[in-house]
Amino acid sequence: MRRDLFEEEHLLFRDTVREFLAREVVPHHPQWEKDGIVPREVWKKAGELGMFGFAVPEEFGGSGITDYRYNTVIAEEIIRIGATGLGFSLHNDVMAPYFVDMTNDEQKQRWLPGFASGELITAVAMTEPGAGSDLQGVRTTAIRDGDHYVVNGQKTFITNGINSDLVVTVTKTDPTAGARGTTLLVIERGMEGFTRGRNLEKVGMHAQDTAELFFENVRVPVANRLGEEDGQGFFQLMHNLPQERLSIAVGAVASAEAVLEATIEYCKNRKAFGKSIGQFQNTRFVLAELATEVEIARHYVDKCILALNAKELSAVDAAKAKWWTTELQTKLIDRCLQLHGGYGYMMEYPVAKAWLDSRVQTIYGGTTEIMKEIIGRSFGF
């Protein structure tokens, strides 16, 4: 079925993004995989092309455009080439709402120009060694001391953890108040007592800097708090989670489409018993099932994108998109790897890297089980 999500300006933007990635990312990404990190220079080059902060007002260096379809173009093109080391989608999709919608005028002037230019790389620090999907279990504390908070605790599995300059950190300003005791503080590179631990060694996404963060008596100015008062953090997080989960779904479908396309081509060319393996009924049936499922997923996700643009995307609909597409992605890539036979287990074939990179998709941003719980609670049981 014809995809009608994009308009002419999005297609032209896609050409720009694709050319940039071909020039600045594709030749270098294998080395970044070995290094475990993407150089900051590529962020600045992307910023020069206007690839960050579409919703950032023009006065602060952005485009002033609230249209998630531009974010979608970037995510799809990055996934198409398997450049899972680039943390651009986290910056654009997850972090932008915090810095554009939840900052005051002084904070906007201080942070948004660097956000849009790629000079300030952002991250969100939610997960702790003992608190993942249960955000109310966060134990990092922020105790008010005059015009500062004193922050103590640690975070783990933080995407952009090494490169990040601004870290939106989930803290407890009142540990006795449950969800209402949570406050978001922006902790900046160079603050005394803020240190980074290991660049974590993961199953996949080897070029993505995923790190541990430590806070030991870090004095964070009250001016770095998001929101007008303490205790708003949990509700700010909940407000932004639907867009984060949609972002993961966009990547999941794009990855599934790319792997399926490559697998169909492989099945046309790979010979067994005197004919292409695509001529065997089992192969055709597997590909038929996967092609059907991924196209259905594509149209649901596109509908969610339009709903987000219209400010109508609900937490439940985003949860449906997130769990279904990521489970489909992992299943599809696994079955496509099987069709590659022994070659699918070789890292020179993109399906092998996609298989490793995709496994985390059903975990971060809220596990499949948490997504189903969100949907199930909506029934009013």
Burial category of 316 from C-beta neighbours within 10 Å (exposed 0-12, middle 13-18, buried 19 and up) = middle
CB of 123 within 8 A of CB of 243? no
In whole angstroms, what is the distance from residue 154 CA to residue 225 CA? 18
Burial category of 346 from C-beta neighbours within 10 Å (exposed 0-12, middle 13-18, buried 19 and up) = exposed
Hey, how many other C-beta atoms are within 10 angstroms of the C-beta on 109?
A: 12
Helix ranges (H only) for 131-278 are 233-269
Which structure tokens are listed for 156? 């783990």
Give 226-229 contacts, CB < 8 A, sequence gap 24+: 226/98, 226/102, 226/103, 226/107, 226/168, 226/184, 226/185, 226/186, 227/102, 227/183, 227/184
The residues annotated as belonging to the active site are 244
Selection from 311, 313, 305, 288 nearest residue 253 by Cα: 305
In whole angstroms, what is the distance from residue 78 CA to residue 378 CA? 34
CB of 90 within 8 A of CB of 213? no
Hey, how many other C-beta atoms are within 10 angstroms of the C-beta on 79?
A: 24
Helix pair angle (315-339, 281-309), 10° resolution: 160
Greatest Cα-to-Cα distance within the chain, rounded to the nearest angstrom: 79
